[in-house]
């Protein structure tokens, strides 16, 4: 077993990062035939199968710590599923083979394949359930508190960004459960940027000035929260969350996975307990951060991906690659 310092070098090697980039690309390409076919189950199944197959080729001992499936819901990438050859670093993996399945199935923008990876024991291990979230970019790191009223967080973020509250743009998913948050933002004189699905993109957008998003707030899936927190950890942003169990069964499931107080506030450093982590995503359809798959001459596809690494390899890259439709990497 490598030492901690040696392990940090292994987890963030360029080779391992590029292996996972190939995973997200393979999953996205597998989904391409399903775009606009109104069959989200078929699309999700293809993306999941491609992602699993490619990850099992990587020299690692990987475990899915949070995802969209449980063991009895295969073929989803289920929680506690083991992946890789077993001949490499021990890693935690959080995945969404098709983030924005409904969007992709109906030919709409903002669907992508995403993965977050960290050294073993460093990503939040939790069930697939609802999570309350607040996300900001690096300039507002350290000023948010998910237990305070939204207006107080808006005031703190505005001060950190050198803005007036009325100049803030807050990204919120367009759902009835968010009506109170939406009304608070509008009452404060700020702007709401609505989205229908894919809060990972919205959270990460807070770290890119060109996206003109200052905060993301709302309730969404826990797997997406862990993935977004990993990206923001690498980017120097901030993220806080609270799991929202819907019943006693979900509470018991949290406790069995080591979360003795499931509704406690989770800081970014509790969700992602190391800087030695990375995030990869490949666009399926066009989105705020990534272009979707584009068909080229002779049947090849052009894929646009984002790679964000933390630790000693801290870096952000947008990568474009051309692949044959039947590419197996």
- 80 labelled binding-site residue: no
- 65 labelled binding-site residue: no
- 262 labelled binding-site residue: no
3: its two tokens: 């030492």
- 130 labelled binding-site residue: yes
d(CA 78, CA 69): 4
- 265 labelled binding-site residue: no
- 39 labelled binding-site residue: no
- 275 labelled binding-site residue: no
- 221 labelled binding-site residue: yes
- Kind plus residue range of the DSSP H or E element containing 221: strand 215-221
- 198 labelled binding-site residue: yes
- 295 labelled binding-site residue: no
Please give the radius of gyration of the chain, using alpha carbons only, rounded to the nearest integer: 19
- 237 labelled binding-site residue: no
- 52 labelled binding-site residue: no
What are the residues facing 131 on neighbouring strands? 220, 243
- 101 labelled binding-site residue: yes
What are the residues facing 302 on neighbouring strands? 294, 322
- 175 labelled binding-site residue: yes
* Distances 199 to 85, 206, 320 between C-alpha atoms, Å: 32, 11, 23
- 99 labelled binding-site residue: yes
Pair 10, 2: CB distance under 8 Å:
yes
Residue 147 carries which DSSP code? Answer: T
Binding residues for substrate: 99-101, 130, 175-177, 197-199, 221
Binding residues: 44, 68, 96, 99-101, 130, 175-177, 197-199, 221, 224
Binding residues for Mn(2+): 44, 68, 96, 99, 224
């Amino acid at each position: 077993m490598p030492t901690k310092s040696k392990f940090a070098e292994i987890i963030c090697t360029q080779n391992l990062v590029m292996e996972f980039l190939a995973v997200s690309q393979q999953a996205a390409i597998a989904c391409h035939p399903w775009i606009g076919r109104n069959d989200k189950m078929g699309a999700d199944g293809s993306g999941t199968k491609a992602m699993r197959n490619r990850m099992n080729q990587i020299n690692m001992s990987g475990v899915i710590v949070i995802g969209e499936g449980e063991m009895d819901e295969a073929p989803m990438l289920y929680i506690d599923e083991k992946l890789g050859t077993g001949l490499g670093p021990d890693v935690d993996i959080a995945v969404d083979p098709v983030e924005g399945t409904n969007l992709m199935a109906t030919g709409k923008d903002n669907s992508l394949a995403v993965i977050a990876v960290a050294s073993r024991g460093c990503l939040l291990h939790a069930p697939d359930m609802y999570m309350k979230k607040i996300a900001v970019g690096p300039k507002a790191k350290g000023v948010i508190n998910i237990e305070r009223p939204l207006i107080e967080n808006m005031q703190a973020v505005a001060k950190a960004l050198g803005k007036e509250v009325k100049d803030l743009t807050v990204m919120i998913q367009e759902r009835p459960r968010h009506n109170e948050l939406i009304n608070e933002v509008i009452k404060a004189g700020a702007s709401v940027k609505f989205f229908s699905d894919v809060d990972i993109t919205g959270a990460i957008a807070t770290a890119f000035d060109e996206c003109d998003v200052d905060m993301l707030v709302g309730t969404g899936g826990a797997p997406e929260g862990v993935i977004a927190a990993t990206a923001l950890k690498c980017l120097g942003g901030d993220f806080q969350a609270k799991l929202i169990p819907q019943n006693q069964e979900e509470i018991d499931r949290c406790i069995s996975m080591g979360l003795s107080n499931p509704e406690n506030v989770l800081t970014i450093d509790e969700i992602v307990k190391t800087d030695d982590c990375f995030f990869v995503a490949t666009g399926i359809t066009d989105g705020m951060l990534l272009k979707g798959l584009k068909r080229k001459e002779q049947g090849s596809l052009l894929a646009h991906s984002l790679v964000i690494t933390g630790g000693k390899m801290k870096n952000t890259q947008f990568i474009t690659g051309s692949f044959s439709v039947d590419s197996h990497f």
